[in-house]
Structure 1
């Protein structure tokens, strides 16, 4: 009879529980896909499998075993490492690198038009208006979703483009961090004022009856701490008078 040490037993038990969670999560996702395919068939809708992509978010440090692709009516769905959804590039690590790279390339092309406009001796007010609508509008699109979790290297690259735009416009422009904080706070206030929003009830429960501030959720990882809700709550508490 093989004896198992308490430490090995604990590790084995945690590993088995983790595998059970992963197995149940995979089965649940497969069941949701099957239910959705069935619903489409019942409502006379046909899925285009060739345009359907599967993105598996794996936040583990170790390389995991490749997941089995989803099959829809006998056809396997292509698995991708990043996907562009509603103008935002989402990667399987949720670090925003793919989106930052796309923004950098797009920002360079928009900066060219700003320089061309500046070569015609256009006034600073018009240059600033063009920057806010054409250049900054590209940088700050959905920034509340990805801005706070962006890596420092990617944020610095985008800030360099803002500095170049500042020289063209002739005035100091807000950095990416400032724009991200402003829009994140505005989004949080909009959620708190919208009773039909899915996050409204959760935020309402976090309001302190004594100070009026919001209680921060428990964050076990740095990625969670830098996500939208904890970041927006910290910004909100900083503006609430003590």
Structure 2
């Protein structure tokens, strides 16, 4: 043993305790219908794609207004999963409708656990600590569902994005960082301002100088692009950085596909490797960015699939077909889920067969996910109505 870091706890928890831990986690998720609809983590029919789509849909329609712009603050917390106070969590669980006895049981289960660390013949003294592990991420979701209502907060676990929708130069609410700081302090959360970034999306013809944002006296760094949940968002809402990164990753994996081919791996395994390592990269959040890409970017991405097709020796789905299929599936899942933030955007016309299109003024909104999804749904409905006439 040379330092304290050599003692790494490995919890050898009994099966009964593991079962109780799973039960407490499931129980704490029961009031999910009362939670913030903009918290997308650990909920059915939610993914990072829904998170990014919701954040962009909050920004893009606002940019249609004259003299408006958007500020996105990507908030970073210091050890968010390890700063949960059980007694405050219990109060929030009660407000969400859980019985008092259940809340007290969860409070007792989360704290007061005594464990030792044993390495070889050396054993540390018993320490009592608050339980973390599996429960911590779910508890963090519950404890942070009461964000200040003045802004649009889009959250995926502890990844929090503050959407500042600014009109006519009025930044008073956006720059009121005191309320966010007070809320974080009340919930025992520490803002990491060195990793918190600001992205400004401004398409005004006459742009005024935008003052830097300060949180707790520290200036928040303003960036031209930010990697948000695996997707690179740029200040001009183009997808060149994201496309370049996808191409780089996919082309690197083509090398391994060639190696497998040279070693006479069967075609079935080659296709399985392609779908797991290359197609999964190319289609990550494809519903968000594909329609906004340029023709050259789409051809470059399709070129990777064409190369993989030659290596495997069998036809592979085109990227456009993959986008259409996934876009339709995503839209259908949102329509079935009434608690989804985007559910209200799918409004049936009086005929009951087609959905009302979103009023658009720019290509930014026209190529956004929700407008594209509505267009695909209406096209699919029209195709289904024409097919019986052909027979």
TM-score normalized by structure 1?
Answer: 0.85
Deviation for aligned residue 1:48: 0.8
Give unmatched runs, 5+ long, in structure 1. 1-16
Do structure 1's residue 42 and structure 2's residue 216 form an aligned pair?
no
Take 2:224 and 2:172, find their aligned partners in 1: how far apart are those partners?
A: 21
Do structure 1's residue 105 and structure 2's residue 232 form an aligned pair?
no
Counterpart in the other structure of 2:197: 53
Match of 1:18 among 50, 61, 67: 67
Q: Say if 2:254 and 2:308, in contact at 8 Å, map to a contact too.
A: yes
Match of 1:27 among 157, 172, 190: 172
The 1:63–1:82 alpha-carbon spacing in structure 2 relative to 1, beyond 3 Å, is farther
Give unmatched runs, 5+ long, in structure 2. 1-65, 69-165, 386-391
Q: Which has the higher strand share?
A: 2
Match of 1:212 among 338, 353, 376: 353
Match of 1:167 among 310, 314, 317: 310
Take 2:202 and 2:284, find their aligned partners in 1: how far apart are those partners?
A: 25
Q: Say if 1:54 and 1:69, in contact at 8 Å, map to a contact too.
A: no
In the comparison of the two structures, how many residue pairs are matched?
Answer: 221
The 1:63–1:102 alpha-carbon spacing in structure 2 relative to 1, beyond 3 Å, is farther
Q: Say if 2:345 and 2:370, in contact at 8 Å, map to a contact too.
A: no
Do structure 1's residue 155 and structure 2's residue 298 form an aligned pair?
yes
Deviation for aligned residue 1:209: 3.6
Counterpart in the other structure of 1:81: 224
Structure with greater contact order relative to length (CA < 8 Å, sep ≥ 6)? 2
Deviation for aligned residue 1:164: 0.7
Take 1:39 and 1:114, find their aligned partners in 2: how far apart are those partners?
A: 50
Give 1 or 2 for the bigger CA radius of gyration: 2
Take 1:34 and 1:156, find their aligned partners in 2: how far apart are those partners?
A: 47
Deviation for aligned residue 1:211: 4.6
Deviation track 1:109-131 (CA, whole Å, cap 9, x = no partner) reads 11111111111112221111111
Describe the SS at the equivalent of 1:49.
Answer: coil
Q: Which has the higher helix share?
A: 1
Q: Say if 2:250 and 2:282, in contact at 8 Å, map to a contact too.
A: yes
